[in-house]
Amino acid sequence: MPDQQRDRMTVLRDGMGLVESPRWHDGRLWFSDWIAGQIIAVDDRGDAEIVVEHASLPLCFDFLPDGRLVLVSNQRMALLVHDDGDLHEYADLSALSPYGFNDIVIDGRGNTYVNSGNFEFSAGPPDGPVQPGFVALVRPGATPTVVGDDVAFPNGMAVTPDNATLVVADSYRHHLVGWDIAPDGSLSGRRVWADLGDAAPDGICLDAEGAAWYADVPHQACLRVAEGGSVLDTVRLDRGGFACMLGRAPDPRLYVTAAQWPGMGGLDTHVAWDGQALSHPVGVAGAGWPGN
């Protein structure tokens, strides 16, 4: 598929469903099409390969330090590892929540963080100041444990290059939340890493200057913010921005997965997602995880 320029955005692939979970790995953009149940890798020419097929909503994934892909399977309530062309159970998540799981990030030590809204999505979160969403830690070979809680709706997650801070998008509270990471992977020192006003942060990534990019579905944009929330850059889209990922030097690009969002009321019947994988030149390369 030839590249198409539109407002400095390059369309790498289009005509897809709800596209999410972009990752930069081995010189290609990897992302998932939740509707098709596929994980796809595409290069900057638009040449694409379907790497994994697995039915799960959501279908988020990341990479272990040894390069193996780990995905969140709500079909099996587990993390699955893609090894030699097959999927095998990596960790059983079923004891943590009956409602399924959302995003995942794996840090430089091989610790996996996976989150859950922990409520029935179609009904919305319960009332009250304390919310049921959480972040769980899966250490290699260990039983998953909840290490962070009271998140209204946890979405994208990222880890700083020094493995010292986990940043989580709390979509319903309009925040990026930060935790300090201990050497054993446990979390402490919860704080508002960035107050985003009325934004609804979805997928996120970090750059080499310590800023974060976040995708915003209702505002159809991706924004770069400093810790604290000051807006440093904005990339406008013509559809919902579900997630973003930064490539590495020497030619850093912001990669975005975007689709037409029907709103909660239209989810059961919506088919015209027109999902796209896009790229956009930026001045600062990615850093940390995902994508290192």
- Model confidence at 262, pLDDT cuts 50, 70, 90, reads confident
Give me the pLDDT at residue 4, please. Answer: 34
Please give the domain boundaries of the chain with CATH numbers for all domains.
5-287 (2.120.10.30)
pLDDT over 70 percentage in the chain: 95
Per-residue pLDDT at 259 exceeds 70 = yes
- Model confidence at 115, pLDDT cuts 50, 70, 90, reads very high
Q: What angle do CA 232, 216, 133 make, to 5 degrees?
A: 110
- Model confidence at 3, pLDDT cuts 50, 70, 90, reads very low
Structure pTM? 0.94
Q: Which two tokens stand for residue 272?
A: 């015209």
Give me the pLDDT at residue 7, please. Answer: 53
The C-alpha atoms of residue 28 and residue 48 are separated, in whole angstroms, by 9
Per-residue pLDDT at 124 exceeds 90 = no
Q: Where do runs of H (alpha helix) occur along the chain?
A: none
The one-character DSSP state at 163 is: S
Q: Report pLDDT digits (tens) over 16-67.
A: 999 999 999 999 999 999 999 999 999 988 899 999 999 999 999 999 999 9
Report whether 170 contacts 178 (CB < 8 A): no
Tell me whether the omega of the peptide bond preceding residue 290 falls within 30 degrees of 0, making it cis. yes
Q: Report pLDDT digits (tens) over 182-227.
A: 999 999 999 999 999 999 999 999 999 999 999 999 999 999 999 9
Give me the pLDDT at residue 84, please. Answer: 85
Per-residue pLDDT at 113 exceeds 70 = yes
Residue bearing tokens 């997928």: 203
Three-state DSSP class for 84?
A: coil
